[in-house]
Structure 1
């Protein structure tokens, strides 16, 4: 099998066309076209559907791309590791992480990682959307409770939980009286109540939204100011709870919050990605909410 032909096929598939691949890599468009045509002839398969202006992968082409891009990445990393002779991680490491995690922890993590691995050029982008790691060139993404993706691998490195917190001066409603609630902006309708666990019992807290804010940090600050109760990560308000500035009206009765570090290949991980994963494990050895709270409050 012609490895160069497969590599050129991957370039065209990744960039979505011969012209784009040629401009991005400096390769000849004619050479790329000839290599892909030779590969299709050898395999006796059509790998691309060619329209007047578009080029899309066939089902067979998509299958070959998904498998071969991982193998080519592994091969490239193996060659780099051998050539580097086991040198310390170096080069660019691109990470995408949720906005809240970036605001409360990522700056400090980046500084400490850079001090430990000065040869790595770290680039962090805050983004809550589901990014395409391959197309957008990310080495690692951090996501909260991500959906299953067969193309990605990963591990949980932190866990958190939600608590209904309110100012100590705000009286908790009795019975079915609604509680003033500071809500996070959402495209979905807000629920009429929060289900919580308090003193080992299930409770239903009827709520009346008094404001909607676009970030969790703003929700916390409004709750601190006494505007209403808010559903907040325990790691973000634990210090306020301990100091008595806020009080807990119960833990949210729902799934836990899990932060995952995701990457596109589980074999022969990029040395920079491996170093960052080990660094996360050192900073958060158990992944408990208390570790994150202590880290951001130190």
Structure 2
């Protein structure tokens, strides 16, 4: 029980961003939360959080432990909710939002199977890369792609991916050589408008050191498909997730540029507003997607 409380306190601190907010979330005192996290670090024999007077940050060990402990706590919540009253009743309209490209490529092929499994459920699916407000806009749940899950919504990780720097062989044959990240500034770039970093593309090397380059896009689009199409037409360099360009890379239509640098990690999450009285249709969809993405198509 102590380990559970320690994990719960540590996870709440990370998600809330402070010991005070975590204490409020857990309906206890800051002193209790601080003690539980210190006990957890002592039991593990490692520091999980870097603490300063102004901010908290995760250590490498803390980052890994947070992901694992968060998943354990979510699984426990799901197990408890699965046997609650009404949780097994799977019917009604399920309103779901998902990103446009990912929805078409990797979710659309799944809907038929889900409907066969749950004949009393109706799906109402909206695809858009705009971040919708689930509560205000009446969505039961959403699938989102981000570098970190939302702290204000319940999140279940479906899969992990990375952003890849790539271009077509035709473009690379005629363009100046790319030996370093700085060389990208001299190249034609196709940029995704909704990227959280804007026109700054970030990477890390084999030692974990961060690198970045400020790009000057020749084409900017709110669709990854448009960027990919331009790259396939030999128009320049793109910075897109493997779930979009993985097949092109495997078949040689695109080539990874500066493969010694890794693009940022991203994750695909299923999110919904609350665990309390979670409808059976939402639980069924989340469990279905978790199973479907155990081996993502872009890794096969």
**TM-score (normalised: structure 1):** 0.60
Q: Which of 260, 273, 287 matches 1:278?
A: 287
**Aligned pair in 2 of structure 1 residues 274, 200: CA closer, same or farther (>3 Å)?**
closer
**Aligned pair in 2 of structure 1 residues 250, 114: CA closer, same or farther (>3 Å)?**
farther
Alignment of 1:24-43 (within 5 A): none
Quote the RMSD (CA, aligned, Å). 3.4
**Aligned pair in 2 of structure 1 residues 220, 266: CA closer, same or farther (>3 Å)?**
same
**Aligned pair in 2 of structure 1 residues 94, 232: CA closer, same or farther (>3 Å)?**
same
**1:213 pairs with 2:248:** no
**1:224 pairs with 2:243:** no
Partner of 2:96 in structure 1?
Answer: 95
Which aligned runs of 4 or more in structure 1 are off by greater than 6 angstroms?
198-206
Q: Which of 245, 256, 265 matches 1:256?
A: 265
Q: Which runs of 5 or more structure 2 residues have no equivalent in the other structure?
A: 1-82
CA distance, structure 2, for counterparts of residue 200 and residue 132 of structure 1: 35
Deviations 1:35-81 (A, max 9, x none): xxxxxxxxxxxxxxxxxxxxxxxxxxxxxxxxxxxxxxxxxx96656
**1:293 pairs with 2:298:** yes
Partner of 1:148 in structure 2?
Answer: 150
Question: Which region of structure 1 is more displaced relative to structure 2, 247-256 or 133-142?
Answer: 247-256
**SS of residue in 1 equivalent to 2:126:** strand
**SS of residue in 1 equivalent to 2:217:** strand
Q: Compute the displacement of 1:202 (Å).
A: 7.3
Q: Which runs of 5 or more structure 1 residues have no equivalent in the other structure?
A: 1-76
Alignment of 1:131-210 (within 5 A): 131-145=132-146, 148-150=150-152, 152-171=153-172, 172-174=177-179, 177=183, 178-185=186-193, 190-191=199-200, 195=203, 197=205, 207-210=215-218
**Contact between 1:154 and 1:263, CA under 8 Å: does it hold in 2?**
yes
**Aligned pair in 2 of structure 1 residues 255, 242: CA closer, same or farther (>3 Å)?**
closer
**Contact between 2:205 and 2:262, CA under 8 Å: does it hold in 1?**
yes
Deviations 1:131-185 (A, max 9, x none): 33233221112222266343x2121112111010111123333465422211123
Q: Which of 269, 273, 293 matches 2:278?
A: 269
Q: Compute the displacement of 1:204 (Å).
A: 6.3
**Aligned pair in 2 of structure 1 residues 166, 272: CA closer, same or farther (>3 Å)?**
same
Partner of 2:5 in structure 1?
Answer: none
**Contact between 1:163 and 1:234, CA under 8 Å: does it hold in 2?**
yes
CA distance, structure 2, for counterparts of residue 181 and residue 198 of structure 1: 25
**SS of residue in 2 equivalent to 1:212:** strand
**SS of residue in 2 equivalent to 1:134:** coil
**Aligned pair in 2 of structure 1 residues 198, 231: CA closer, same or farther (>3 Å)?**
farther
Partner of 1:120 in structure 2?
Answer: 121
CA distance, structure 1, for counterparts of residue 215 and residue 206 of structure 2: 16
CA distance, structure 2, for counterparts of residue 199 and residue 167 of structure 1: 28
**SS of residue in 2 equivalent to 1:118:** coil
**Contact between 2:159 and 2:294, CA under 8 Å: does it hold in 1?**
no
Question: Which region of structure 1 is more displaced relative to structure 2, 221-230 or 110-119?
Answer: 110-119
**Aligned pair in 2 of structure 1 residues 283, 259: CA closer, same or farther (>3 Å)?**
same
**1:244 pairs with 2:252:** yes
Alignment of 1:42-121 (within 5 A): 80=86, 86=88, 89-121=90-122
**Contact between 1:140 and 1:262, CA under 8 Å: does it hold in 2?**
yes
CA distance, structure 2, for counterparts of residue 140 and residue 213 of structure 1: 26
**Contact between 2:154 and 2:275, CA under 8 Å: does it hold in 1?**
yes
Structure whose alpha-carbon radius of gyration is higher:
1
